[in-house]
Structure 1
Amino acid sequence: MHNGGMTPRVTRRRALAAAAAAGFGLPAVAEAAPKPSRPRGRFQNLRVATYNVSLHRAEQGALLEDLATGEDPQIRAVAEVIQLNNPDVILLNEFDHDEDGAGIDLFRTKYLEVAQNGKSPVFYPYAFTAPVNTGVPSGHDLDQDGATDGPGDAWGFGEFPGQYGMVILSRHPILAQQARTFQNLRWADMPSNLLPTEFYGSEIAGELRLSSKSHWDVPVRVGSSTVHILASHPTPPSFDGPEKRNQRRNSDEIRLWADYLSPGERSRWIVDDAGEKGGLASREQFVVLGDLNADPFDGDSWPGAIDQLLNHPRVQDTAPRSEGAAEAAEQQGGANADHRGDPRCDTADFSDDPGPGNLRVDYVLPARTFQVVSSAVYWPREGQPGSELTGVDPFPTSDHRLVRVDLQVQS
């Protein structure tokens, strides 16, 4: 699949520990893998999670060095959070991308598949990653600071190509050949967009890419069902001027998924990196995942940005909660005291004074066709087991919290 001159990468590991010990391996092609054994009944549980792990580093290759040691405290704590929550499919945001996928393999073998503080290891035989726009030079002075080689001049803000990348890990086969990526989709091609053409100028505005990282539609085979993982990480709606270019871009990055889930005229403008047009067929099942950097009530996002998905007729919002988030908002005060949203739904611990306070920005939004069993934000109350993994600034893991939803999927 053509993708800016590079191809998405799907990796395959050996089967789970028990299967490996028994001598069973996985086939070389993910699509040819045997279906998992079926539980009794017609449905099986699927836990889907998103987690902004903050595994980004200031220099290219630095994350690989930390991963290779197997001893990095932050990475170990991130792995422990994942082990405790034990998702079947998880999107990792802010995981620096490397072209050959070595970082993913190191993360699995040296951290996830190793017991952290006595927690059970987790095994993900399937992974997907692809290039992102962060740090990719545009050749233009996008931030109008008089230079063309700064992080603000890349197609997506970043010090080097691949910074703040994305990874999908799965226990179920990833249908790699059916995956669609939208790294190169132009912002100007979106009808009725919010692009501030007057700020950039018409020539540059016509070249800008919509995705600050990328948008991926990655199908995962679960029993007899296919679940489309719709993954993204829109730009924060801040760090701009009166033109509100980042607020606007964030809203339109979210809108891309809203249009994608609307077959017909509304999604006809969408073209993936392989040249295929259109959105997701109405019969397909999906889960929207990611740090979408927009709160429905508070913060700096463009008015109604996240409502484009929360109110979409194909999407259901379970509003995952935690008591730890409510406790943190009360203890930290500042901007939190003026928030209109339910603090139990917060997923990120942001600066309170100055700053937007804690917000709900990380989402797991399944199709309405799914039956939801449960949902949660992993944010333990102070003093509870696991609270040492969330903590306060400087965070032992990330300023974001893992969000998970359990679904019933036809087996």
Structure 2
Amino acid sequence: MRTSRGWLPVLAVAVLAVSAAPASATPKPGASVEFATFNASLNRGAEGALLADLSTPDNAQAREVAEVIQRSRPDVLLVNEFDYVPGNAAADAFRDNYLEVGQNGARPIDYPYAYTAPVNTGVPTGFDLDRSGSVGGGNDAHGFGVFEGQYGMLVLSKYPIDTAKVRTFQHFRWQDMPGALLPDDPATPESADWYSPEALEVLRLSSKSHWDVPVRVGTRTVHFLVAHPTPPTFDGPEDRNGTRNHDEIRFWADYVTPGKGAYIYDDTGRRGGLRAGERFVIAGDYNADPFDGDSVASAARQLLDAPRVQDTKPASLGAVVAAEQQGGANAEHKGGPWLDTADFNDETPGNLRVDYVLPSRGLLPLRDGGFWPVPGTDLARLNDASDHHLVHVEVAVP
């Protein structure tokens, strides 16, 4: 069992522990496993730009992102907003040139296993989804993006990934979710009519994708369920992004709840949700706070209240200090600032809890936290790596 962690806040104290284990240490079967999510903002504005940045070891932002990961040292990590490049080329460059090179005194870290796949961002639908009067561009794609694969996802792991059993749900159609919260045109008497029947015949639910990535921990399998729902903003009174965010989150809640996921089909055509009794960890930037922000009121609670999900409420002292110093909308928030994971605009929506690592019942939570160094301390320089902060939960796998 490793002892390294990021910032572990205990209300008034934050402690940073640095691993003494070699970077190449192989996890032992039966050991505790730390799962984490980090929206690292490693997206770029042009296709190929991320791979170019990662092909050399001197990109300042990538070095900061790598240092955050090295100081947190999770065993299994989801990286959101990592542009998709076929053949794991960007993932390999990130590992070779950044993660396996010590950054500012942090120890290198080795992830022998990586998984990435195509996502819906930038993939054209052929329809005027935003009703701008023309077809084309990010707003008319299956997921917002100026090129295919922008804002993609990457899973890194010290434990083997059973790639033959990965399930992806990139092509699942929104209208195939029973009782889907489809957006409504407020100017018409009909309901749920923002999109035409023809558009709904092709429009996918996932703005990026949903992946069920089985990770082998000794003789056990833990399903790493990852996604990155659309922000519930950048739309109009029809709330097309807010309703989609709600249903993207609902997808996993149904998937892990026996009796609710029968309607689900994956990209190979296999139907059904996760089998009862399987262990899982849900992770990602879900762009929804259970109390504050612009999301549909019940969006995040669908996951947090799912019967098989445990919410350990990872906290950080840095988030508390940031909320106090920045003020603005933070002063009016209902949710506890120690749970915030993202540093957004001070006036609206303020800092929010939008990044989650949620283990299933059957896994034993040991420790958790958020890597949000206290402003004014040495590691606070890493708060600029992204507007999100890494969140981690360590569990024992019985």
TM-score (norm 2): 0.91
Contact 1:95 1:164 survives alignment (8 Å): yes
Distance in structure 1 (CA, Å) of the matches to 2:273 and 2:258 = 6
Distance in structure 1 (CA, Å) of the matches to 2:288 and 2:131 = 25
**Structure 2 residue 49 is matched with structure 1 residue 56:** no
Find the counterpart in structure 2 of residue 25 from structure 1.
Answer: none
Find the counterpart in structure 2 of residue 399 from structure 1.
Answer: 387
Distance in structure 1 (CA, Å) of the matches to 2:198 and 2:154 = 33
Summarize the alignment of residues 252-331 of structure 1 with structure 2, pairs less than 5 Å apart. Answer: 252-264=247-259, 266-331=260-325
Alpha-carbon shift at residue 307 of structure 1 (Å): 0.6
Superposition RMSD on alpha carbons, in Å?
A: 1.3
Find the counterpart in structure 1 of residue 84 from structure 2.
Answer: 97
Contact 1:175 1:220 survives alignment (8 Å): yes
Summarize the alignment of residues 112-191 of structure 1 with structure 2, pairs less than 5 Å apart. Answer: 112-191=99-178
Single out whichever of 104-113 and 134-143 deviates more from structure 2: 134-143
Distance in structure 2 (CA, Å) of the matches to 1:244 and 1:113 = 43
Summarize the alignment of residues 207-222 of structure 1 with structure 2, pairs less than 5 Å apart. Answer: 207-222=202-217
Distance in structure 1 (CA, Å) of the matches to 2:346 and 2:193 = 33
User: What SS does the corresponding residue of 2:205 show, helix, strand or coil?
Assistant: coil
Contact 1:183 1:213 survives alignment (8 Å): yes
Write the deviation string for residues 174-221 of structure 1: whole angstroms up to 9, x where unpaired. Answer: 000000000000000000110124111222123210000000000000
Find the counterpart in structure 1 of residue 346 from structure 2.
Answer: 352
AA at the equivalent of 1:336: N
> Against the structure 1 CA distance between its residues 388 and 278, is the aligned structure 2 distance closer, same or farther, given a 3 Å change threshold?
same
Write the deviation string for residues 30-69 of structure 1: whole angstroms up to 9, x where unpaired. Answer: xxxxx9544xxxx411011000000011100011111012
User: What SS does the corresponding residue of 1:168 show, helix, strand or coil?
Assistant: strand
User: What SS does the corresponding residue of 1:406 show, helix, strand or coil?
Assistant: strand
Single out whichever of 379-388 and 220-229 deviates more from structure 2: 379-388
Distance in structure 1 (CA, Å) of the matches to 2:204 and 2:331 = 37
Distance in structure 2 (CA, Å) of the matches to 1:281 and 1:131 = 25
Contact 1:232 1:290 survives alignment (8 Å): yes
Contact 2:234 2:241 survives alignment (8 Å): yes
Find the counterpart in structure 2 of residue 361 from structure 1.
Answer: 354
Alpha-carbon shift at residue 399 of structure 1 (Å): 0.1
Distance in structure 2 (CA, Å) of the matches to 1:149 and 1:311 = 38
Write the deviation string for residues 226-278 of structure 1: whole angstroms up to 9, x where unpaired. Answer: 000000000001111101111100000000001101223x2111000000000
Write the deviation string for residues 65-103 of structure 1: whole angstroms up to 9, x where unpaired. Answer: 110121000000000000000000000000000112110
Alpha-carbon shift at residue 337 of structure 1 (Å): 0.8
Find the counterpart in structure 2 of residue 245 from structure 1.
Answer: 240
TM-score (norm 1): 0.88
Q: For this pair of structures, how many residues does the alignment match? A: 369
Distance in structure 2 (CA, Å) of the matches to 1:407 and 1:220 = 14
Find the counterpart in structure 2 of residue 229 from structure 1.
Answer: 224
Distance in structure 2 (CA, Å) of the matches to 1:18 and 1:164 = 29
The percentage of aligned residue pairs carrying the same residue is 58
Distance in structure 1 (CA, Å) of the matches to 2:24 and 2:36 = 24
AA at the equivalent of 1:46: V
User: What SS does the corresponding residue of 1:93 show, helix, strand or coil?
Assistant: strand
Listed as ranges, the gaps of 5+ residues in structure 2 are 1-21, 184-191
**Structure 2 residue 78 is matched with structure 1 residue 66:** no
Distance in structure 1 (CA, Å) of the matches to 2:88 and 2:172 = 24
**Structure 2 residue 199 is matched with structure 1 residue 204:** yes
Alpha-carbon shift at residue 18 of structure 1 (Å): 5.5
Alpha-carbon shift at residue 386 of structure 1 (Å): 1.6
